[in-house]
Amino acid sequence: MKIEAVDLFCGAGGLTHGFEMAGIDVICGYDIDDACRYPYEKNNDAKFISKNILDIDGDLISKNYNLNTIKLLAGCAPCQPFSNYRQGKVRDQRWELLYSFARLITEVKPDLVSMENVPELTRHQVYIDFINLLKEQNYYISSSVVFCPDYGIPQNRKRLVLLASKIGKIKLIEPTHKKEAYLTTKDALLNLPTLEAGESDINDPLHKASGLTSINLKRIKASKQNGSWRDWPEELMASCHKRSSGKKYVAVYGRMAWDSPAPTITTQCYNYGSGRFGHPVQNRAITLREAALLQSFPLSYEFVNPEVDRFNLSQVARLIGNAVPVKLGEIIGRTFVNHVSNFGY
């Protein structure tokens, strides 16, 4: 029996693409951000449906599946409410998205469930409620915090991966890479055309480097790989670095290192001053294409309709930074494929 999946909060299709690489048939993806439609449908054999999870019921989801298939319901609710940056904050309205995901599980009754989010989610009541609901619905459950380099992703990203099955006990497949064999920033980016700050690749609209002010150009030239602003001459230091509150933020205006995995890619990754997003050897911030490669998207993955003359840089960066790394999606997908095969399906 083949596995059919519906991808909730599908974004630009990172999880869906990984599932398809693993041999899972993804029927459709749901998201309220219509900017996701082009990359999702262009790169995947799945339909994009623009609907709010809060407003749909299980019957609508169930109609997507064919008869006599193993049904997988996957979802990665927006992680911002649960991140370190929001610890101690009041309850975010977006928590309701995870409760709606739980509700849809009870209504659809899929054979398999996958949920991916930030590790900090486990500190919140909504996660405890989610786990308890799965137990009440007689799912076998496993969860783990995944360090992405362990699975061939060139990025120091940590993600909570929860898997649930009504078929039997399930566990994420073992890591595929040991520390000495981690994929590096160099492995991912070496073969792209060289750019100066402000330049772009005429063959790829996403391979475009943001411009730098004269002082930021001096700063990046003075930066060492995996170093910090403390490597600069004092005259290049920003006023925030001289305040006690700013001294701990050593990665801001930093360079990545060629020979280690990249830092976590965020929605501001194209901005040199927003983190350790300086290119390891070129005097500029990384491009969106480089960010996508570090998120393990294939080089051929299209995020922008070529018929559009200009595109919104911050919008595409948001799609890339918020995506599930494609390779992680493939690892989760392979886990499900192996799981159902081991139980004779």
Per residue in 234-285, pLDDT (tens digit) is 899 888 777 766 666 788 899 999 999 999 999 999 999 999 999 999 999 9
Q: What is the pLDDT of residue 79?
A: 53
Q: Which residues are catalytic?
A: 79
Residue 127 has pLDDT above 60, yes or no: yes
Among the listed residues 277, 307, 319, the one whose alpha carbon sits nearest the alpha carbon of residue 35: 319
Say whether pLDDT at 175 is over 60: yes
Examine the domain organization and report whether 215 and 136 are in the same domain.
no
CATH number of the domain within which 94 lies: 3.40.50.150
User: pTM score, two decimals?
Assistant: 0.94
pLDDT at 95: 73
Contact 26, 16 (CB under 8 A): yes
For residues 117 and 195, state if they share a domain: no
Domain count within the chain: 2
Query: Quick one: 14 and 163 in the same domain?
Result: yes
Which residues have CB under 8 Å from 243's CB, separation 6+? none
Q: What is the mean pLDDT of residues 299-327?
A: 93
pLDDT at 238: 83
SS3 per residue for the chain? CCEEEEEECCCCCHHHHHHHHHCCEEEEEECCCHHHHHHHHHHCCCEEECCCHHHCCHHHHHCCCCCCCEEEEEECCCCHHHCHHHCCCCCCCCHHHHHHHHHHHHHHCCCEEEEEECHHHHHCHHHHHHHHHHHHCCCEEEEEEEEHHHHCCCECCEEEEEEEECCCCCCCCCCCCCHHHCCCHHHHHCCCCCCCCCCEECCEEEEECCCCCHHHHHHHHCCCECCCHHHCCHHHCCHHHHCCCCCCCCCCCCECCCCCCECCCCCCCCCHHHCCCECCCCCCECCHHHHHHHCCCCCCCCCCCCCCCCCCHHHHHHHHHCCCCHHHHHHHHHHHHHHHHHCCC
pLDDT at 245: 61
d(CA 259, CA 303): 28
For the chain, the distance separating the N- and C-terminal CA atoms, rounded to the nearest angstrom, is: 6
Output the pLDDT for position 93: 62
Confidence band for 92, pLDDT divided at 50, 70 and 90:
low
Instruction: Tell me: do 84 and 165 sit in the same domain.
Output: yes
**3-8 and 70-75: which strand pairing?**
parallel
Say if residue 161 is in the same domain as residue 225.
Answer: no
Range of the domain at 204: 185-321
Please report the pLDDT score of residue 84 as a whole number: 46
CA nearest neighbour of 333 among 121, 65, 25: 25
**52 and 130 share a domain?**
yes
Instruction: Report which residue type is found at 178.
Output: K
Task: Give the mean pLDDT of the chain.
Answer: 93
> Both 21 and 93 in a single domain?
yes
Tokens found for residue 98: 């995870």
Check whether residue 208 and residue 154 sit in a common domain. Answer: no
Shared domain for 29 and 143, answered yes or no, is yes
Q: Is the pLDDT assigned to residue 88 strictly greater than 60? A: no
Q: What is the mean pLDDT of residues 115-138?
A: 94
Q: The domain that contains 191 carries what CATH number?
A: 3.90.120
What are the pLDDT digits (tens) for 50-66? 999 999 999 999 999 99
- Which pLDDT score, from 0 to 100, does residue 76 have? 86
Highest mean pLDDT among 15-19, 81-85, 306-310: 15-19
Do 154 and 326 touch, CB atoms closer than 8 A? no
Average of per-residue pLDDT across 102-110 = 97
Phi, psi of 94 (to 5 degrees): -70, -10
The answer to whether residues 257 and 227 touch, using CB atoms and an 8 Å cutoff, is no
Shared domain check, 212 and 86: no
Instruction: Assess contact for 249 and 274: CB atoms under 8 A.
Output: no
pLDDT at 318 over 90: yes
pLDDT of residue 69: 97
Query: In the prediction, which pLDDT does 73 show?
Result: 98
Residues 126 and 103 in one domain: yes
Query: How does pLDDT run across 38-54, given as a tens digit for each residue?
Result: 999 999 999 999 999 99
90 pLDDT higher than 50: no
Assess whether pLDDT exceeds 90 at residue 94: no
Q: Are residues 212 and 304 in the same domain?
A: yes
Q: What is the mean pLDDT of residues 322-330?
A: 97
The predicted model gives 135-163 an average pLDDT of 97
